[in-house]
Amino acid sequence: MSKAVIAIHGGAGAITRAQFSPEKERLYINALSEIVAAGQALLEAGGSALEAVSEAVRLLEECPLFNAGIGAVFTHDGTHELDACIMDGKTLEAGAVAGVSHIRNPILAARKVLEHSPHVLLIGRGAEIFAQQHGLEPVSPDIFFTQQRWDQLQIARAQRQTVLDHDEPIHPDTKFGTVGAVALDKHGNLAAATSTGGMTNKMVGRVGDSPIIGAGCYANNANVAVSCTGTGEVFMKTLAAYDIAALMEYGGLSLHQATERVVMEKLPALNGSGGIIAIDCAGNVALPFNSEGMYRGYGYVGDAPSVGIYQSQER
């Protein structure tokens, strides 16, 4: 029996202590702690890693503080296009959706793709029809609206920039990224899940790393489960999530060495910023990021959740 553990992230970026009032910081810390605790409870009750990451990401999508589901960022045209991916390390089965606007919880649609489709990735209208056929009620994209994200789009449009939701020069108050979860269950199974609204002011039709297996999400019981957040195009070009697994499998690197290599060397070499969360098959946890902060947390079953926002802050 392994020591079950879950880790989550709510995006990485230029997040500094100076931007946060104590009240606001508490909001984030509480949200992260509650979601880690929900994942721990599920794992403690014998739930699978797949169930734990799916539920943790669903909760993150429901929380307007984070850029996924409710609270997702806007495209250039003022619409929402959401991406999500889930992967089961035991079977290497994966499911993903991209560019969806009428699904409240894209991670649940990704899971339907994993469980009920011969395919791995469905996009746009096809993904929405498939989700509906499998019991996910369509929603109006209005439910994703938050004033904060709308204001963020106006700033980005005025500056003619496509902006990662956490990058300068977006107002500090509006810096949040993708969400994700990785878990190891009692039976030694790993799973990973990632969900995002993408980048503020992105072109309609743009898809980032989050729904791409091996880029923003990867899990294999043989070595590691990984979920990423950051400059999506660079995570795609470096196959960041799979690269960590490959460095461990072929290079014999430890979890710590592999994640440091990718996050601190390979991504920055292409101007990639962001971070990853990863759990290896022995239950080790790594949460490295090369940005100023990353909303993150983890917890072994039976322990109190440990969460952080800035550099070297875990509590």
Is 207 annotated to bind a ligand? Reply is: yes
Q: How far apart are the first and last CA of the chain?
A: 27
Residues 224-243 that bind ligand ASP (CB under 6 A): 229-230, 232
Is 197 annotated to bind a ligand? Reply is: no
Cα 172 from Cα 142, distance rounded (Å): 24
If one asks whether residue 164 binds ligand ASP (CB under 6 A), the answer comes out as yes
Q: Smallest distance from the beta carbon of 187 to ligand ASP, in angstroms?
A: 30
If one asks whether residue 208 binds ligand ASP (CB under 6 A), the answer comes out as yes
Partners of residue 221 on adjacent β-strands? none
Is 208 annotated to bind a ligand? Reply is: yes
75 is catalytic: no
Q: In this chain, which stretch among 15-23, 46-54, 161-169, 287-295 interacts with ligand ASP, using CB under 6 A? A: 161-169
Cα 54 from Cα 69, distance rounded (Å): 13
Residue nearest ligand ASP, CB atom distance: 232
Is 229 annotated to bind a ligand? Reply is: yes
Partners of residue 94 on adjacent β-strands? 87
Q: In this chain, which stretch among 128-136, 153-161, 185-193, 195-203 interacts with ligand ASP, using CB under 6 A? A: 195-203
Q: Which is nearer to ligand ASP, 42 or 107 (CB)?
A: 107
Alpha carbons within 13 A on the beta-carbon side of 194: 34
Residue 243 CA to chain centroid, in angstroms? Answer: 17
Binding residue for ligand ASP, selected from 11, 89, 299, 305, defined by CB under 6 A: 11
Is 214 annotated to bind a ligand? Reply is: no
- CA dist 211 to 29, 41, 81, 169, 307, Å? 26, 27, 12, 26, 25
Cα 196 from Cα 5, distance rounded (Å): 23
Cα 169 from Cα 125, distance rounded (Å): 33
Q: Which is nearer to ligand ASP, 124 or 188 (CB)?
A: 124
By annotation, the residues acting in catalysis are: 178
Q: Which residues bind ligand ASP (CB under 6 A)?
A: 11, 164-166, 177-178, 196, 198-199, 208-210, 216, 229-230, 232, 274
